[in-house]
Structure formats: C-alpha cells, structure tokens
Amino acid sequence: MNSAHELTTLIAALRDLHGEATPKAALATLTRTRGSTFRRPGTRMLVLGDGHVVCELSGGCPQRDIVARALEVIDSGEPKLVSYNAESGLDVLIEMGCGGELEVLIEPLLAIHDMDFIDTLARCLDERRTLHMATLFVVNGKTVLPRRLAWNGNGVAYDGIGDAALVQAMMMHAPACAGRRARTVNLPSAQGTVDVLLEAIAPPHALVVIGSSAAARALLPLASALGWRTTLVDYDPARLRASDLPAGLHTACATPQQLTDTIALDAHSSVVVMTHNLEQDIAYLGALHHAPVAYIGALGSRERVARMRSSAALEGLHVHAPAGLDIGSETPEEIALAIAAEIMAVINDRSGGHLRDNDGAIHPS
C-alpha cells in the first residue's frame, strides 16, 4: 500500500492528469508479492510520458525496468503484467539482495475516462471513509485494461465492472483484505476466471496535538512529512499565532470543554496532549473518554504520569503515557520522533520492537 503522504501525492497527480485533454501516462501497481520485497500489493507508481515518476516504488533496479516498460505501455496503449523473479531473466530482486518475487500491472492512462475512478476515491477519503476498491486486470489468463469497483459503508460509489454477480463476489471477498493489506484473488465470472486486486484504502491519518510546548512544535513538521493531517489545539489564541509554526498548519482554539465540539475525531485519528500543565492535560484527556480515536498519548515523566493515572477524571481511559517509544529521547525533536513512531506502531498494529533477530545475527545460528 502507498503511505498517507504518497497517496495524497498520487491522487493530486492523477487529478491533474484527469484534467488534461490528452493525458499521457501509465500507472504501475504491485498486484502480487512473495518473500522479501521492497513494497506490498496495492502500492502504485505513476509514470508520466516524459519519464517523470510520481511516488517511487524502490529507486533501484526494479523501478528502472518498470519505468522503461511503462514508457512502452504508453506508446502501445496496451497493459502489461510483468513478473520479477529468478526466472524473469532480469533477476533484479536477487541482485538487490531481497530474494523475493513480485508481479506488477502496468496500465496506460491515455484517455480521460481511464481515471474516472480517481474523483470517487478522493471524495470518499475527503469524507474520512475507508474505501474498498477492486481492480480487475486479467480475464482467462490474458491481461486486460483494468476495470474498477469502489464501495464503502454507503454502498457502491463507482462501478466500472458492469456485472452484478461479479460485483457481489468482489464485495464478499473484501473482508479478506481488511486493514492495510491488499491481495489478488481469482474469481469465476460470466467472462471466465478473472484476477482481481482487492484493497481497503483508509483516509490519511489525522493527528491532533494539544499544547504549544517545544515538543509539540517539533512534532508538527514530522507529522506533516508523514502525510498526517495535523491540527494544533490550544486554549490561548496568542500561542496559535506564533511565528515559528509551520506554514499552512490547521489550528483550533479550544478549551477542554470545547474540544470534541471543535475537532472532528474518528477512528483514523490520534490525539497527543502535551500542554506541560498537569491540570490542563487531565482536563483535555478527560474530554476524550468517548472519542473514537486510534491513539491517545500524553507527555510527561513517569512521576507526572502516575499523578495523571490517579485522577478519577481519567478512570477507564486508555492513555499511552509517557507517550512514545523508548529510544532514549531527551530533546524536543527526539521526543517528537519517539511519539510519531509509537503512533505508527499502533495504527499499523505493530509492537514497535526491533526488525532484526534478537541476537542481531545475519544468519541464524
């Protein structure tokens, strides 16, 4: 899957392309992977007619070959399904040291209707709704121009399939791609056996930072770089006009009592309270008792956090406190990094531990 920042960038580029009278581009999508690969199914890269790339896949050998093949697809107008493995002749993944296998769909974007789905995708994500999307790209073993289906809790939002039975089958298989994982499935249809990429696309994560401390200000640009929609909240409007805040930052002046009426919170949101005033922190945290957010964090020493937890106002509220992973943070920037890393671990359902084996060995003993 593309990251939040990549997805926002990709949608913007596709919408610009959609507005052109004669678009000239190709969209490369990872449809299957096996073993160790640089990205997962559902990840996309846009290749423009001049070779310019939007949202790089790897930057290495596979990408260079994918770009070259994308330019061929732009010239021919015919989609391609390309496999990279030990039998491909290129052996690029083994050259990189990954040793995995992957399959890439490369589709031409040469007419306005080729990108009709993008407005639906953008609209649903703007509404903060998870969107399920199915991309049909193979019929009876032959690669075809992709056709798409998109739906959410309100029903079908875009139907480029035109086959009611197949649409129903796609939607029934959607729970298998819940979360951030996408996968390709084989489904029977009136046309024959089809290959369909199923994916769930969540809206960009939203981060609400409460307080104008140094650590709070350090967290803002980092969250923005991750593609999170970031809002700074303070009850003092003067602090929200500080000259060192990032340009274009969304701000909201709200007391704890006004918080949930002022800020829209959902399951794709996180809140970090870091006012450096214990009573204010407790008041803001207490306002989040019924907020449907993914993560609630609070800054503070262990002694300060113990005083928070003893407050009756926070009874039953799950708070990550002290917020952040244990990476030895001391400076505001280091604290911001630790907090952002913990939020990522939570929303990706990861422990936040080491990627390496416990003994650090390259080859297990």
Q: For 170-174, what is the mean pLDDT?
A: 89
Mean pLDDT of 287-313: 93
- Give the pLDDT confidence score for residue 365 in this predicted structure: 35
Mean pLDDT within 150-171? 93
**CATH annotation of 206-347:** 3.40.50.720
Domain extent listing, the chain: 1-113, 116-203, 206-347
Q: Which two tokens stand for residue 140?
A: 């009876």
What is the pLDDT of the chain when averaged over all its residues? 89
pLDDT of residue 21: 82
Any bridge partners for residue 187, and if so which? 194
* pLDDT tens-place string over residues 114-138: 888 888 888 888 888 889 999 999 9
Sheet holding 192-201, edge to edge: 155-159, 142-152, 131-139, 192-201, 183-189
- Flag whether pLDDT at 199 surpasses 70: yes
**pLDDT over threshold 50, residue 361:** no
Give the SS3 label for residue 351.
coil
In angstroms, the CA 216 to CA 275 distance is 8
Confidence band of 63 (pLDDT split at 50, 70, 90): confident
Cα–Cα distance between 71 and 1 in angstroms, integer? 23
pLDDT tier at 318, thresholds 50, 70, 90: very high
Q: What per-residue confidence (pLDDT) applies to 186?
A: 95
pLDDT for the residue numbered 222: 95
pLDDT of residue 206: 95
From residue 14, alpha-carbon distances to 25, 45, 73 in Å are: 9, 11, 17
Is the predicted pLDDT of residue 359 greater than 60, yes or no? no
| pLDDT single digits (tens) 241-250 | 988 888 889 9
CA 30/CA 43 separation, integer angstroms: 6
pLDDT for the residue 94: 45
Q: What is the pLDDT of residues 323-348, one digit of tens each?
A: 999 999 999 999 999 999 999 999 98
Tokens standing for residue 299: 């800054």
**Pair of tokens at residue 158:** 């875009």
Residue 229 has pLDDT above 70, yes or no: yes
Q: Write down the pTM of the prediction.
A: 0.85
Task: Give me the pLDDT at residue 362, please.
Answer: 42
Residue 315 DSSP class: T
DSSP 51-73: S-EES-S-SSHHHHHHHHHHHHH
pLDDT at 45 exceeding the cut of 90 = yes
Averaged pLDDT for residues 173-191: 81
Q: Which residue has the higher pLDDT, 63 or 285?
A: 285
